[in-house]
């Protein structure tokens, strides 16, 4: 039986006009409203509802506008036709003009029935835009119905903003802090991954067995993995290796669906370990993990799944492209000498740490003392305020029941990277009081004495690192820069901001933006700084 309305026909029903889609048949019409999106698609049964040809009133002289309105309409039509004239459906609806080299991954992806790619371009080339182009095109063509971006919690809001502003993809944040709110709006037995079609998820949150199975069961058919190199086995029994193994198990299960599109995004695909690299590309296709990359055939096979360009490659292959890459970066170390009082504090802290390690008995107590000593020394060299807070705070490792648990608790506290979705953040000053592991009555008194001495060192007179920072910042500001100072611990950041305020000139606005603030509060504080700086320039 012939379809009453061919695909592309315009019909009127339910008081509005619709476009007939290809999925229609004589008994059921699948329609999309004019000016609507895929979310507004509806199915109508001609036997039950009235469906007629769409008719529009003829134009009348009163419809004529002025020359300016006609020019705007003409320009809009030209832009729309120009953007949609190519083989891509999404380019007319995105809010970014991709550079020619950023279209290369998209062109490669369109040659695959199921997109499986590793985008490994250098930092600054635009991996986020490249993966966003592929995602928006797959969604526009209907080859994908949903999108999940797996990334670190620190980058989740940035991914959400990039997708929304540049590609018109509204994604929901799935983090440890947002899941309780999202789950309250679900129907009984409903998964939040069914409720929200596009999501940006913390990899470290979703990798836990508690949440992983629900995600796997309702995973969208398009997955982007940011910083994919952290999701391959690292070897060993450290906390880092265990965390990486959990991520790899998650992605292995995600990639097992042969119809699922998978984009792996990283600037460092090869860490020097061939086994880890093969595990990474094996997520795209298990056969890639076994190919001989030393042969032309092996490299050609990998090339259809893998794109990697350096900034030098872009400058060479696109000489007319104004790539905004910095020609170089200046790295400079500024040495400084400790003041006599600060040096005495550090010497006494080292002596205390040595006594703690010497007096500890048993593997568990030794590891607790070890991690507590490291936390103490790192805080002292960070700032007097971080040192004072660390000295009066109980070490997390003191609660460990074994040496292995002490390692698991102590390593993230003293490392420079966060490997979990800890809402408290990894930049809080660690504790050093491990008195639960060794019964020495004098130790708390020594800690309190060290803490008092550390607090007395605040200020540029005794803290020569702070004095050096003030001189360096004054020089940068004089040269026209707007410097940002990064600190290891929150107390250090607050201490530095407090002592810089007023020391850099009357018009220089200084504020601490740390993990103690919520994301919304951090944005608000930055905006307040910008407003205050603008007022200072105009006053």
Provide DSSP, 4-34: SS-TT-EEEETTEEEEE-TT-BTTBEEEEET
Residue 403 and residue 106: Cα distance in Å, rounded?
50
Confidence at residue 86, expressed as pLDDT on a 0 to 100 scale: 56
Q: What is the pLDDT along the chain (539 residues), one digit of tens a residue?
A: 345 788 888 999 988 899 888 888 888 888 988 877 777 888 888 888 888 888 888 888 877 778 888 888 888 777 666 554 456 778 777 888 888 889 999 999 999 999 999 999 988 888 999 999 999 999 988 889 999 999 988 889 899 999 999 999 999 999 888 888 888 888 888 888 888 899 999 998 898 888 889 999 999 999 999 999 888 886 655 566 778 888 999 999 999 999 999 999 998 888 778 888 999 999 999 999 898 888 999 899 999 999 999 888 888 887 776 655 655 567 788 898 999 999 998 898 888 888 877 877 777 777 777 777 787 888 888 899 988 888 777 655 555 566 666 665 555 555 554 444 444 445 666 656 655 443 443 446 777 888 888 889 988 888 999 999 999 999 998 888 889 999 888 889 999 999 998 888 877 888 888 877 777 788 888 888 888 777 765 55
Q: What is residue 293's predicted lDDT score, i.e. its pLDDT?
A: 87
The string of pLDDT tens digits covering residues 152-191 is: 888 898 999 999 999 999 999 998 888 888 888 888 888 8
Q: Is residue 217 packed enough to be buried (19+ CB in 10 Å), middle (13-18) or exposed (0-12)? A: exposed
**539-to-79, 259, 483, 502, 511 alpha-carbon distances in Å:** 43, 61, 22, 17, 20
Closest CA to 457 of 345, 336, 351: 345
Token readout for 201 is 């998820």
CA 134, CA 496: separation in Å to the nearest integer?
43
Please enumerate in sequence order all residues whose Cβ is within 8 A of that of 507, keeping only pairs 6 or more positions apart, or say none: 533, 536, 537
Q: Rounded to 5 degrees, what are φ and ψ at 162?
A: -60, -45
Residues linked to residue 32 through DSSP beta bridges, in sequence order: 19
**What does the pLDDT read at residue 134?**
95
Radius of gyration of the chain (CA): 29
Q: Alpha-carbon distance 10 to 256, whole Å?
A: 41
Q: Would you tell me which CATH number, out of the four given (1.10.10.920, 3.40.50.10810, 3.30.470.10, 3.40.50.11740), belongs to the domain 89-317? A: 3.40.50.10810
What are the start-end ranges of the E strands in 113-226?
Answer: 116-119, 147-151, 172-174, 198-202, 222-226
* Other residues' Cβ atoms within 10 Å of the Cβ of residue 169: 20
Q: Domain-by-domain residue ranges, the chain? A: 10-53, 89-317, 340-455, 478-538
What pLDDT, in 10s, does the model give residues 254-271? Answer: 999 999 999 999 988 887
| Coil vs helix vs strand at 147 | strand
Q: How far apart are CA 386 and CA 306, in angstroms?
A: 45
């Amino acid at each position: 039986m012939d379809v009453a309305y061919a695909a592309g026909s315009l019909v009127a029903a339910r008081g509005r006009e619709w476009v007939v889609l290809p999925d229609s048949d004589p008994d059921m019409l699948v329609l999309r409203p004019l000016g609507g999106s895929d979310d507004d698609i509806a199915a109508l049964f001609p036997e039950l509802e009235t469906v007629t040809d769409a008719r529009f009133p003829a134009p009348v002289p009163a419809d004529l506008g002025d020359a300016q309105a006609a020019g705007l309409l003409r320009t809009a039509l030209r832009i729309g036709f120009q953007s949609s004239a190519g083989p891509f459906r999404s380019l007319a609806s995105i809010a970014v003009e991709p550079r020619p080299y950023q279209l290369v991954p998209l062109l490669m992806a369109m040659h695959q029935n199921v997109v499986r790619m590793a985008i490994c371009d250098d930092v600054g080339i635009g991996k986020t835009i490249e993966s966003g182009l592929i995602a928006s095109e797959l969604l526009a063509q209907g080859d994908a119905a949903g999108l999940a971006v797996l990334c670190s919690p620190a980058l989740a809001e940035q991914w959400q903003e990039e997708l929304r502003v540049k590609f018109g993809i509204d994604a929901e944040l799935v983090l440890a802090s947002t899941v309780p709110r999202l789950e309250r709006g679900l129907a009984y037995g409903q998964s939040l991954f069914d409720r929200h079609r596009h999501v940006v998820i913390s990899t470290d949150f979703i990798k836990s067995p508690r949440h992983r199975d629900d995600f796997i069961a309702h995973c969208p058919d398009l997955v982007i993995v940011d910083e994919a190199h952290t999701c391959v086995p690292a070897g060993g029994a450290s906390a880092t290796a265990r965390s990486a193994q959990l991520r790899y198990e998650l992605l292995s299960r995600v990639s097992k669906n042969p119809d699922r599109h998978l984009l792996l995004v990283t600037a460092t695909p090869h860490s020097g370990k061939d086994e880890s690299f093969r595990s990474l590309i094996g997520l795209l296709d298990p056969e890639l993990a076994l190919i001989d990359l030393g042969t032309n055939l092996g490299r050609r096979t990998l090339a259809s799944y893998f794109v990697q360009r350096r900034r030098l490659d872009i400058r060479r292959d696109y000489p007319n492209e104004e790539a905004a890459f910095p020609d170089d970066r200046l790295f400079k170390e500024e040495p400084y000498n400790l003041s006599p009082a600060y040096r005495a504090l550090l010497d006494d802290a080292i002596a205390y740490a040595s006594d703690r390690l010497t007096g500890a008995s048993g593997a568990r107590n030794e590891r607790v003392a070890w991690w507590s000593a490291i936390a103490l020394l790192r805080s002292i060299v960070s700032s007097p305020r971080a040192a004072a807070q660390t000295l009066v705070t109980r070490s997390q490792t003191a609660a460990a029941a074994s040496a292995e648990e002490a390692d698991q608790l102590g390593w993230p506290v003293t490392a420079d990277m966060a490997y979990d979705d800890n809402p408290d953040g990894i930049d809080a000053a660690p504790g050093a009081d491990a008195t639960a592991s060794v019964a020495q009555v004098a130790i708390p008194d020594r800690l309190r004495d060290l803490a008092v001495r550390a607090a007395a060192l605040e200020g540029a007179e005794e803290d020569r690192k702070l004095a050096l920072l003030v001189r360096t910042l004054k020089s940068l500001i004089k040269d026209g820069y707007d410097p940002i100072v990064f600190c290891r611990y929150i107390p250090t950041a607050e201490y530095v901001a407090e002592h810089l305020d007023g020391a850099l000139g009357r018009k220089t606005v200084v504020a601490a933006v740390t993990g103690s603030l919520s994301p919304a509060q951090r944005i608000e504080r930055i905006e307040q700084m910008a407003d205050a700086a603008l007022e200072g320039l105009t006053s």
